[in-house]
């Protein structure tokens, strides 16, 4: 049992390091916090399930926001990070229960559309914010999800076949 816990922590640390590197690869947007940090979370969601992937997605968003100086404030970025967890969680679950194509659509829609819609519940955000940020989030989500699929597909029967 102890060996499995160590293995899981090491693998999660490696994926978190991938997420950290991705946090420096920015997609131009009105905000500096859209990056390729979530690819590692999506990849972990495919390989190891929704909870592990979601944790990496959550922490990856926090790292990206930290690199950008928390442009929306720490509390708002914590909400976004929770939404990232939810997006990756359902991406991983959908892949296991249905298929990779439906999972990809779910991941892109949850992260690119639903997440910014959640921010509309906060008084400082409105429809102009959503309209301005959604296209960039959809593009970033699509790139992150497609990269995770392209990386996972050839590896799923090799080093990643031994799920945590």
- Per-domain boundaries in the chain: 2-155
**What's the mean pLDDT when you consider all of the chain?**
88
Q: Is the pLDDT of residue 2 over 80?
A: no
Q: Is the pLDDT of residue 108 over 60?
A: yes
- 96: confidence class by pLDDT, cuts 50, 70, 90: very high
- 3 vs 117, more confident: 117
> Tell me, which fold does domain 2-155 have in CATH?
Arp2/3 complex 21 kDa subunit ARPC3 (1.10.1760)
- 94: confidence class by pLDDT, cuts 50, 70, 90: very high
Summarize the confidence of residues 130-142 as an average pLDDT: 89
pLDDT of residue 78: 96
Residue 146 near residue 103 (C-beta atoms within 8 A): no
pLDDT of residue 37: 86
pLDDT of residue 112: 94
pLDDT of residue 9: 86
In percent, how much of the chain has pLDDT > 90? 60
pLDDT of residue 149: 96
Q: Is the pTM of this model over 0.85?
A: yes
């Amino acid at each position: 049992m102890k060996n499995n816990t160590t293995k899981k922590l090491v693998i999660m640390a490696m994926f978190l390091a991938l997420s950290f590197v991705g946090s420096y690869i920015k997609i131009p947007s009105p905000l500096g916090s859209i990056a390729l940090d979530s690819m590692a979370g999506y990849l972990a969601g495919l390989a190891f399930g929704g909870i592990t992937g979601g944790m990496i997605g959550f922490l990856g968003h926090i790292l990206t926001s930290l690199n950008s100086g928390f442009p929306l404030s720490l509390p708002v970025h914590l909400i976004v990070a929770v939404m990232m967890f939810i997006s990756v969680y359902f991406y991983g679950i959908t892949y296991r229960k249905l298929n990779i194509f439906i999972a990809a659509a779910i991941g892109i829609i949850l992260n690119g559309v639903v997440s910014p819609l959640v921010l509309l519940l906060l008084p400082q955000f409105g429809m102009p914010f959503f309209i301005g940020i959604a296209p960039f989030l959809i593009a970033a989500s699509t790139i992150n999800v497609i990269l995770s699929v392209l990386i996972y597909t050839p590896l799923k029967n090799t080093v990643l076949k031994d799920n945590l």
